[in-house]
Amino acid sequence: MCNNTFKETNMATIAFIGLGNMGAPMAINLAKAGHQVRAFDLSREAVAKVVAEGGSAATSAQEAVEGAEVIVSMLPASQHVEGLFLGNGSQAGLLQGIAKGALIIDSSTIAAATSQKVAKAAQALGIGFIDAPVSGGTGGAIAGTLTFMVGGSAADLERARPLLEKMGKNIFHAGDVGAGQTAKICNNMLLGILMVGTSEAIALGVANGLDPKVLSEIMRRSSGGNWALEVYNPFPGVQEASAATRGYTGGFGTDLMLKDLGLAQESAMTVKASTPLGGMARQLYAAHSIAGHGAEDFSSVIKMLQKKG
């Protein structure tokens, strides 16, 4: 039986599975806070980064969760989360190796139905589960200023809160299990639409001879201001810390945005909601991915909107 609270005076043993651009700095922040973090990822380099900051390496996900009080997962898509916890084919799911009384915090962005399916199986084994997808980008993950959108019971959220506070500064209880995922896909649909619109506006201004820095500042301080203009400008050189200035590397990939926009459209079809701009943004990102930019940051969508020649 695992402890039910994870406070400053009671540091937790945490299995952290999935150490991508977001997961690695999140795991590092937990390790720096004094928690015992067992890190696992298919990338040895990613694991090494966490170990260098105070974590320990696990050779498998199964090893990572042995005796862990908390399991944090940050995986690419629904099939990865379902496969990890519930298994597939002849491979047993990770739930069988997690101690009764432990808490799963899944920060992946996946379908709400998948979160609900995994939660139901976990709860049947006496294991807590919350879906807690995040917003704030890689910069927020590094700084520990992420926004968590949580679905699950109020009791499980309170158990997780001391840990979430080491990784983020805004924690919202969206509702029951799956509600966090719904909030996240709504947010990311809007983000995709805003990035396309911001890119289109900057590309138009530059085609007319405007300085992208000047134009971006004008729009940032005017009625067109939005998060992309504030901290994630899609035009290279406008903001030193943006993925665009790093050659569209190290951020939130085009294919991940495309996946999230697809989840939004699936949800819209399920509840018969009208999302024409979300659908158009998905089509644009699909075309951008097909053109070979799937691994680049999603702000690279500006490339398909810029004047050629």
Tally Cβ neighbours within 10 Å of residue 155: 10
What are residue 38's DSSP bridge partners? 15, 56
State whether residue 18 is helix, strand or coil: coil
Of the candidates 168, 129, 166, the one whose C-alpha atom is nearest the C-alpha of residue 31 is 166
245 phi and psi angles, rounded to 5 deg: -75, -20
C-alpha 128/C-alpha 20 separation (Å) is 24
State whether residue 168 is helix, strand or coil: strand
Active site residue 184: yes
Torsion angle defined by CA atoms of residues 11, 14, 19 and 21, in that order, rounded to the nearest 10 degrees:
-40
Q: Which of 100, 184, 259, 307 is catalytic?
A: 184
C-alpha 42/C-alpha 23 separation (Å) is 13
CB 290, CB 190: distance < 8 Å: no
Q: Which residues are catalytic?
A: 184
